[in-house]
């Protein structure tokens, strides 16, 4: 209950399921079971990325590449330092090649402002879940 305080953002993982089992014959007769809500896990919202994210990848096509684009991207990655591993996929539409690069230099914090900046730059992204 220490998580349930005023102005505390929490993440609740739960399931909704039937409270008890009904035999197929009874179900065919129209009998139903009431549903129950079971809380599985409660955690602070700030800890969700560390628990559920394995990695983060961005997709860049070769026509996007320029010195200005590179500088903006590096500046944005430095501003959003974190501990989520970053992968980059470089796509060449002329030859159809798709090359993956794992960044050893950058790890990111996946936050709403970071996602917004990626969208403004026209960069597609993928979240790699655990």
* Residues 97, 119 within the same domain: yes
- Specify the 3-state DSSP secondary structure of 21: coil
Residue 5 lies inside a defined structural domain of this protein:
no
What pLDDT is attached to residue 1?
59
Predicted TM-score of the model (pTM):
0.65
Name the packing angle between helices 67-79 and 112-121 (round to 10°).
Answer: 180
How far is 101 from 104, CA to CA, in rounded Å? 9
Print pLDDT tens along the chain (130 aa). Answer: 576 778 778 888 899 998 888 888 888 898 888 899 999 988 887 778 778 888 999 999 999 999 999 999 999 999 999 889 999 999 999 988 999 999 999 999 888 899 999 999 999 999 888 8
* Residues 89, 32 within the same domain: no
HSE-CB for 97 with a 13 A CA cutoff: 7
Residue 70 lies inside a defined structural domain of this protein:
yes
What pLDDT is attached to residue 4?
73
- Residue 43 belongs to what domain range? 10-48
* Residues 59, 111 within the same domain: yes
Question: For the chain, what is the domain count?
Answer: 2
How far is 91 from 54, CA to CA, in rounded Å? 22
β-strand partners of 57: 87, 126
Q: Are strands 35-44 and 53-61 parallel, antiparallel or unpaired?
A: unpaired
How far is 47 from 50, CA to CA, in rounded Å? 6
């Amino acid at each position: 209950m220490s998580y349930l305080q005023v102005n505390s953002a929490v993440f609740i993982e739960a399931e909704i399921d039937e409270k008890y089992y009904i035999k197929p014959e009874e179900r065919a007769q129209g009998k139903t079971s009431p549903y129950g809500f079971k809380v599985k896990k409660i955690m602070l919202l700030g800890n969700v990325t560390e628990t559920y994210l394995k990695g983060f990848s961005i997709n860049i096509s070769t026509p996007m590449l320029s010195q200005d684009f590179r500088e903006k991207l590096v500046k944005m990655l430095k501003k959003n330092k974190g501990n989520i591993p970053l992968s980059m996929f470089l796509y060449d539409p002329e030859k159809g090649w798709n090359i993956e690069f794992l960044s050893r230099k950058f790890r990111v914090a996946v936050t709403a402002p970071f996602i917004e900046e990626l969208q403004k730059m026209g960069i597609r992204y993928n979240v790699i879940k655990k």
